[in-house]
Amino acid sequence: MNFCLAFGTTREGRRYSGGISGLISLPIWFVVIVAILAAIGLTDRLLMPGVRWFFRRRANRAIELLNNRLSLKIQPFKLTKREGLIDALMFDAEVIRAVEDEAAASGTPGQVVLDRAREYANEVVPAFSHYTYFRIGTRLARRLSQMLYRVRLGNSNDKALADIDPNSTVVFVMNHRSNMDYVLVTYMAATSSALSYAVGEWARVWALQSLIRAMGAYFVRRFSTGNALYRKVLARYVHMATMAGVTQAVFPEGGLSRDGKLRPPKFGLLSYMVGGFDPEGPRDVVFVPVGLNYDRVLEDRVLTAAAQARDGEKPKFRFNPGVLLKFIGRSIYQAFRGAWFRNGYACVSFGKPVSMRQYLSENKFDFREMDEERRYQEMEKLGSRLMNCVGQAVPALPTSLIATVLLADEAVPLGPFQIKTRVFNLINRLEEAGVYVHIPRNDHDYLVEVGLRMLTLRHLVLVAGETYRVNPKERDLVVYYANAISHQMARIADKNQTANKT
């Protein structure tokens, strides 16, 4: 089918309106396409502004309602469009200087280096969506946490947290035992704030990375110490977010603990946050220590296997789909038989907040006035103090207590009464040192029952008659769980030695 246009001409070649002496034939598909494009143009100009205004108004109203409910508000910086944040980062004076230095040092054209810096910015900057975070992320986090664990709150430290200046930037500093840490803390903090995590390269998987960006997380390359331009782009984004009041959550250890012990802190993100901190500025930075512990860490066998790597050798975390499917299948089978138990308790405990203004006032220095070597030394002291506070906040759970008692005298099988006596004594020592001990149902006997059940079901502890002993083949895993509170045991031992000397 064709669409025709008619027109005529006089003998002199002039156009006239009457009579038909020629036809222009247009295909109907061409006319349809032009009509569709015209309709789209009219819709975009006339209808879409109103639609965008309607949804923007609903989104702003939803954010306002969220901020009324949250104790730590969602800052405007976090709601800024991602393209705007990337542009702000690219026009930052220090990033521009880093681009110029890189171009001069490498002999690469400036535009090429600038494009590379923009790639880094695209990689780092998140795209926060309040709907994705609160309607999808936190709900999934709650259901997954409750499905896998009996989730408990240890020391809530409500008064200290309530006393934090609302205008401050709050940074939750946590130990890193499992990838479930992200899920668990998101669930526990859902009524307080929207957290922005620093996430490793493991999460840069298609589809998953879009969801993680929408949750407000930013990606960090763990092995990029030699890339000065990348570090500068990352540093400036973290500094901008911190100075804008974005609530963040960081793992100073930089990776999962492979032997169960607390790892020495790394200072990169910490220095980015407070390296340019102004004690007289409008916004304080407050670090809140958070201690996490689990009766069972889902990746424990992978982590302890990686701990066997030789010195200087990069540990290999091997993912085996067969093992995952076997675990899921066994769990479903046990659930149908009524023999499936959740993976024990997961507990989150909060420590005493550390204010940067107060910290700098007590120590009488300013990071901005230091040379690089002195700044690193002071960052090391600050990081060590924060990790000590995190260690003090780590709760003691049944599995860790039973593992500690059985390893203390592993050559001798222990009966139930002996185990209970030693566990009760250990609890008293920990509580005297200010450590939170989670006692299920407030029943010490039940605590011992839960701990032994978790270890015997996995054959980490062998049962012979009415006695229990560590399975030699699984000793590494038992040590892994005992190490969760080994730093607190060491602190208690040091206090006892000091008391004996005096």
What backbone torsions phi and psi does residue 164 show, to the nearest 5 degrees?
Answer: -70, 135
Query: pLDDT (tens digit, 9 = 90+) per residue, 429-487?
Result: 999 999 999 999 999 999 999 999 999 999 999 999 889 999 999 999 999 999 999 99
Query: pLDDT (tens digit, 9 = 90+) per residue, 299-320?
Result: 899 899 887 765 555 555 555 5
Closest by CA to 215, choosing from 269, 145, 136, 144, is: 136
Domain definitions of the chain by residue range? 2-69, 76-255+271-294+343-393, 398-501
The residue written with tokens 């004076």 in the block is 93
Distance of CA 464 to the CA centre of its chain: 43
pLDDT of res. 351: 93
pLDDT of res. 11: 47
The residue written with tokens 């800024």 in the block is 80
Which contiguous run of DSSP H or E holds residue 95? helix 93-106
Q: Could you tell me which residues come within 8 angstroms of residue 448 by beta carbon, excluding any fewer than 6 positions away?
A: 398, 402, 416, 419, 420, 423
- The arrangement of secondary structure in 76-255+271-294+343-393, i.e. its CATH architecture, is 3-Layer(aba) Sandwich (3.40)
pLDDT of res. 305: 87
Dihedral class, residue 85 (left if φ above 0, else alpha if ψ from -120 to 50, else beta): alpha
- The arrangement of secondary structure in 398-501, i.e. its CATH architecture, is Orthogonal Bundle (1.10)
Q: Which residues of the chain have pLDDT under 70?
A: 1-24, 44-70, 201-208, 223-225, 309-328, 330-341, 498-502
pLDDT of res. 367: 85
Distance of CA 11 to the CA centre of its chain: 82
pLDDT of res. 198: 84
Considering just the CA atoms, what is the radius of gyration of the chain in Å?
A: 30
Domain 76-255+271-294+343-393 and domain 398-501 have a common topology: no
pLDDT of res. 67: 52
